[in-house]
Amino acid sequence: MGKDSQGRLVLKRPLKLSARGLRPVAWYIDGEPLGLDESGEFAWLPPVEGFYDLTVIDAAQRVDKSHVRIVAVEAVK
């Protein structure tokens, strides 16, 4: 993860999200639903550094929430 010349995050691949619970589950980032990628997994590409609220709800309507911070770091060579 790094930044481009305009300060936007550059990820080599999306972050994969997973959770335990009764399937199916639904993920939300800052209240917006997260769709499945082409492989059928929940994958997220944060647009910028900062804080995000992640919520997951399973088929039994159990809810779990997390407040995360995304920070770009230079790759270790």
Per-residue model confidence as pLDDT tens digits over 2-27? 677 776 677 778 899 999 999 999 99
**75 inside domain:** no
pLDDT of residue 75: 57
**77 inside domain:** no
**48 inside domain:** yes
- Reported as half-sphere exposure (CB side, CA atoms, 13 A), residue 39 has a value of 6
Domains in the chain, number: 1
**9 inside domain:** yes
pLDDT of residue 1: 61
Task: State the residue range of the domain holding 29.
Answer: 2-70
Task: Enumerate residues 6+ apart whose C-beta is below 8 A from 2.
Answer: 9, 10, 72, 73, 74, 75
CATH number, domain containing residue 23 = 2.60.40
Name the band, by pLDDT with cuts 50, 70 and 90, for residue 35.
very high
Residue 46 has pLDDT above 80, yes or no: yes
